[in-house]
Amino acid sequence: MSEESVDEEKRATLRRFAAVGAGGPLARLAGSDADASAPDDRETTSEVPAAIRGYLATTPGAHFSKLRDDLRLGTGEAQYHLRRLAERDAVDSWKDGDYRRYAPAGRFSDFERRTLGFLRRDTARGLLVELLRDPDATGAELADRLGVSAPTVSKYAAELAEAGLLDRSDGYDLTRPETTLLLLVRYADSFGPDAVALAADADELVEYSG
């Protein structure tokens, strides 16, 4: 693939996400960041802030590498614009183990941030999805449904409990299932097919939990 084709694909990606972000508070930044210190050409650079805003609006909790790769940005380019947006209190970031995750500023509580972090991990998300579908599932049943070992279920359950998402005093009880379900349904397309399938059954699950 030629360099020109790569550049065009990058611009198309940026414009697609910028369209999502055009109506929000970061839209005014779209034309203001093309200064001499920016790491890329002016045309592309001017599109990046709005694209980041649009991307994070649909994919909150994404870690740095995923954001960079999905938007086809260079490492320095992504760091530059995220730093500029953070300085303007337009983007929130937080440390999650080895990752740094990002979301639109002021939109999520600490609990929701922790939940988003786990929902961005395949096995942890699978565990949460199964517990939303079947709150009485045992560790052995969860392991069988997820295709993982029982120790793996125990490991993730311990991490979820430490983060305050799970109560292990009597089985595996989600502490705030409504919040977890809402995040899964609202951003289902950005998580994976398990979240999309759960979203399709959301009405039934909400009725059940009530």
Residue 28 pLDDT greater than 50, yes or no: no
Is the fold of 3-107 the same as that of 111-209? yes
Q: Which CATH class is domain 3-107?
A: mainly alpha
* Minimum mean pLDDT range among 11-20, 30-39, 77-86: 30-39
Which of the four pLDDT bands, split at 50, 70 and 90, describes residue 121?
very high
Listed by start position, the domains of the chain span 3-107, 111-209
pLDDT of residue 18: 79
Nearest one of 111, 114, 112, 84 to 99, comparing CA atoms: 114
Q: How confident is the model at residue 5 (pLDDT cuts 50, 70, 90)?
A: low
The per-residue pLDDT for 206 is 62
C-alpha angle 82/88/89, rounded to 5°? 85
The structure tokens 């947006």 sit at: 85
Exposure on the CB side of residue 106, measured as CA atoms within 13 A: 4
Residue 29 has pLDDT above 70, yes or no: no
Residue tagged 């449904």 (tokens): 145
CA 49 – CA 67 distance, rounded (Å): 12
Selected residue with higher pLDDT from 19 and 96? 96
Provide the strand spans (E) within the chain: 62-63, 91-96, 99-104, 166-167, 173-174
φ, ψ at 78 (rounded to 5°): -65, -45
The CATH number of the domain covering residues in 111-209: 1.10.10
Q: What is the mean pLDDT of residues 119-123?
A: 96
% residues pLDDT > 70 (the chain): 82
Pick the residue with more confidence: 67 or 208?
67
